[in-house]
């Protein structure tokens, strides 16, 4: 798709302007006043910011203990978020009040030996990380590329102000970006760049977008930019090869912000700088479907259908979704993004938002906010949909929203959750998918499936003789049948193949359906297993009365076919990442059964 466009590259690239620089005061004064005031408020909180100290032992802590939180969340990301906020504050005011603190932030980052995270400090995919960065062999990971883009955007936006203090500031930025990003991007191969059939993920579009920003926001000769565009085109094709034509992101809704939206960002840069080579791609059905995915996954203002490492709180939508919807002529998604953006403006800032380190995103927000705020129509509810490429069904009937995941256990950010279901009632979680804990050394290692949230026994699935599902694409659903009607949505799937031989299964057929009256599920299992136990994960505390379970104030579950006592396990939620989605306690129902069991919820 992208490489085919290379034959239409222009002889010269256009000067890339993601937005007007801050010196163009007329343009910045047209940014909505309430947004400019928010940017200034963020900056004012950071006046006198010291950017903290990042020591070598801080960096080495990941290799020693596996802890990512302290380095990333108390040192690395706050430093970058502070610089981005201060730059936006200066762009909004342009009186020099924030310049000294901006320069301090720039020099703090220029002084870092490596920009990659400790958890990503390796040269070959899925190999052990090195304790410290090698400044002669930079690693381009997600956040090295983010750092390069941040510094490049800072120089682009505030060049006049920075040059007035010292021309060396922007010269040093350009030298560092060339050393850490541009040179290794063109001379090295990192796994996320793509290599034939090797599976890609959000890293590909995300890193590619930010490397393109570095190339097109700094002074580069034609041959460098041409080589970068060719490499980016190949990588983006490698990224899209892992998407079905339906555009479903198998990493989940939370990763759309870094996968599909970073694809949008890369396309924006290529479309503007290499006009008209890539512009026809906005009309491609696959691109349109990639854009619409996040709209289809939304079930309530604060909730998204989640699976894999995704949280049900997948973030607020904003300028990038709005612009992607406009580019792909999707009115419903455009209105959805506008409504969510307005809702976000009414809320307090989320200082944990990784997107806040990206000045490109903030600039896009500033210059399309007026159009977003002018939208007055309410978005329509998405239609029911089945994403065949990943096996995700989403349906909405009145007060209820339901999702089922067929597919397999070989997804990016995979959990062993083939066949699991989630249910919402009145916009609140009823049957839940827990998500993932704070990332640690074990998360992306051979020990991944020792973590409880990854295991099928902690999803809405049964175990057989304590045997859970296995990881790997070969452990999957088969014979999947779906039906999406106005009054009923249903799915039928054979799930025996998601389990290993130790489950002693010959057949496991699950049927799940949603109507305006509620949710129904039936499991029919055959095999030589002795004990089967169905897990149902709940946010609200259940009260068990025989085969009837009252679930908080949300509703009731009825069980037909239990072979013994239904029990409840209290699950404390202490992990900080999980606590952003769930209360301090959730609940796990354990329902023993023999061959058949039925569950209804209303």
CATH number at residue 411: 2.70.98.70
Q: Cis omega (within 30 of 0) on the bond before 276? A: yes
Domain-ending residue, one of 321, 349, 374: 374
Tell me whether residue 380 is in a domain.
Answer: no
**Segment (H or E) for 437:** none
CA dist 397 and 365 (Å) reads 34
Q: How many domains does the chain have?
A: 2
Domain match, 241 and 127 both: yes
Average pLDDT over residues 316-323: 97
- Tens digit of each residue's pLDDT (9 = 90 or more) over 455-509: 999 999 999 999 999 999 999 999 999 999 999 999 999 999 999 999 999 999 9
| Section 211-233 average pLDDT | 99
Per-residue pLDDT of 83-134, as tens digits, reads: 999 999 999 999 999 999 999 999 999 999 999 999 999 999 989 999 999 9
Strand partners, 392: 387, 405
pLDDT higher than 80, residue 350: no
206 part of a folded domain: yes
Quickly state the pLDDT bin for 346 (edges 50, 70, 90): confident
Q: What is the reported pLDDT for 351?
A: 67
pLDDT at 543 over 80: yes
pTM over 0.85: yes
Pairing of strands 428-431, 392-397: unpaired
The percentage of the chain sitting over the pLDDT mark of 90, rounded to a whole number, equals 96
Where helices occur in 188-309 by DSSP H, the ranges are 202-217, 222-241, 253-256, 260-273, 285-297
* Overall residue count recorded for the chain in this entry: 602
Query: Do 555 and 525 touch, CB atoms closer than 8 A?
Result: no
Write the DSSP symbol of residue 77.
H
Task: Tell whether 391 and 361 lie within a shared domain.
Answer: no
Q: Please indicate, yes or no, whether residues 115 and 197 belong to a single structural domain of this protein.
A: yes
- Segment 514-537, tens digit of pLDDT: 999 999 999 999 999 999 999 999
Q: Which two tokens stand for residue 161?
A: 């102000």
Confidence at residue 352, expressed as pLDDT on a 0 to 100 scale: 66
The string of pLDDT tens digits covering residues 359-415 is 999 999 999 999 999 999 999 999 999 999 999 999 999 999 999 999 999 998 999
- Separation of alpha carbons 264 and 269, rounded Å: 9
> Average pLDDT of the chain?
97
- Report the alpha-carbon distance of residue 366 to residue 356 in Å, rounded: 13
User: Both 361 and 400 in a single domain?
Assistant: no
Q: Are residues 75 and 95 in the same domain?
A: yes
Strand pairing category for 462-464 and 472-476: unpaired
pLDDT band at 548 (very low <50, low <70, confident <90, very high): very high
* Residue environment code for 192-204, b if the CB has 16+ CB neighbours within 10 A, otherwise e: bbbeeeeebbbbb
Q: For 376, phi and psi rounded to 5 degrees? A: -120, -20
Pair (356, 390) in one structural domain: no
Q: Where does 408-554 show beta strands of DSSP type E?
A: 408-409, 421-425, 428-431, 462-464, 472-476, 478-484, 488-494, 505-515, 518-527, 532-538, 542-545, 548-551
Whole-number pLDDT of residue 347: 87
Residues 6+ apart with CB under 8 A from 348: none
- The answer to whether residue 379 is domain-embedded is no
Confidence grade of residue 416 (pLDDT, cut at 50, 70, 90): very high
DSSP 458: G
Whether residue 349 has pLDDT greater than 80: no
Given phi > 0 = left and psi -120 to 50 = alpha, else beta, which region is 382? beta
């Amino acid at each position: 798709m992208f490489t085919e466009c290379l034959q239409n590259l222009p002889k010269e690239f256009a000067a890339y302007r993601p937005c007007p620089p801050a010196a163009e005061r007329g343009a910045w004064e047209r940014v909505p006043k309430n947004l400019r005031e928010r940017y200034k408020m963020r900056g004012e909180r950071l006046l006198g910011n010291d950017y903290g100290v990042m020591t070598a032992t801080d960096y080495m802590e990941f290799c020693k203990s596996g802890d990512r939180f302290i380095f990333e969340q108390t040192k690395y990301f706050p430093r970058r978020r502070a610089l981005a906020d201060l730059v936006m504050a200066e762009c909004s005011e342009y009186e020099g009040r924030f310049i000294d603190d901006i320069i301090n932030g720039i020099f703090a980052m220029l002084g870092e030996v490596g920009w990659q995270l400790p958890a990503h400090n390796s040269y070959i995919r899925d190999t052990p990380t090195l304790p410290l960065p090698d400044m002669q062999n930079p690693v381009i990971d997600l956040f090295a590329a983010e750092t390069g883009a941040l510094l490049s955007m800072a120089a682009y936006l505030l060049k006049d102000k920075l040059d007035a203090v010292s021309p060396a500031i922007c010269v040093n930025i350009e030298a560092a970006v060339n050393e850490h990003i541009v040179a290794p991007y063109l001379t090295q191969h990192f796994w996320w760049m793509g290599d034939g059939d090797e599976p890609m993920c959000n890293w590909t579009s995300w890193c590619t977008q930010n490397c393109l920003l570095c190339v097109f926001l700094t002074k580069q000769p034609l041959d460098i930019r041409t080589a970068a565009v060719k490499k980016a085109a190949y990588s983006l094709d490698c990224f899209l090869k892992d998407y079905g034509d339906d555009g479903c992101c198998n990493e989940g809704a939370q990763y759309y912000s870094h996968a599909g939206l970073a694809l949008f960002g890369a396309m924006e840069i290529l479309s503007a700088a290499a006009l008209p080579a890539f512009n026809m791609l906005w009309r491609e059905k696959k691109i349109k479907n990639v854009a619409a995915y996040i709209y289809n996954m939304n079930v309530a203002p604060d909730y998204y259908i989640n699976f894999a490492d995704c949280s049900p709180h997948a973030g607020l939508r904003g300028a990038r979704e709005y612009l992607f919807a406009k580019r792909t002529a999707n009115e419903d998604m455009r209105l959805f993004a506008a409504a969510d953006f307005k809702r976000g403006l009414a809320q307090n800032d989320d200082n944990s938002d990784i997107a806040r380190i990206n000045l490109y995103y903030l600039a896009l927000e500033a210059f399309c906010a007026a159009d977003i705020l002018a939208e007055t129509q309410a978005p329509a509810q998405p239609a029911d949909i089945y994403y065949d490429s990943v096996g995700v069904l989403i349906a909405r009937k009145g007060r209820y929203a339901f999702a089922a995941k067929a597919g397999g256990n070989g997804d990016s950010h995979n959990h062993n959750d083939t066949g699991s279901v989630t249910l919402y009632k009145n916009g609140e979680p009823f049957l839940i998918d827990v998500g993932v804990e704070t990332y640690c050394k074990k998360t992306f290692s051979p020990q991944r499936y020792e973590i409880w949230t990854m295991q099928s026994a902690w999803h809405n699935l049964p175990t057989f003789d304590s045997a859970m599902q296995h990881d790997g694409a070969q452990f999957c659903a088969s014979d999947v049948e779906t039906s999406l009607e106005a009054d009923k949505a249903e799915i039928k799937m054979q799930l025996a193949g998601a389990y290993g031989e130790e489950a002693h299964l010959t057949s496991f057929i699950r049927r799940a359906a949603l109507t305006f009256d509620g949710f129904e599920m039936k499991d029919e299992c055959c095999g030589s297993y002795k004990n089967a136990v169905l897990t149902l994960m709940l946010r609200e505390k259940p009260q068990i009365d025989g085969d009837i379970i009252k679930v908080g104030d949300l509703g009731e579950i009825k069980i037909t076919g239990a072979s013994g006592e239904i029990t409840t396990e209290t699950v404390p939620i202490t992990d900080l990442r999980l606590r952003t989605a769930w209360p301090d306690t959730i609940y796990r129902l354990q329902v023993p059964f023999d061959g058949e069991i039925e569950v209804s919820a209303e």
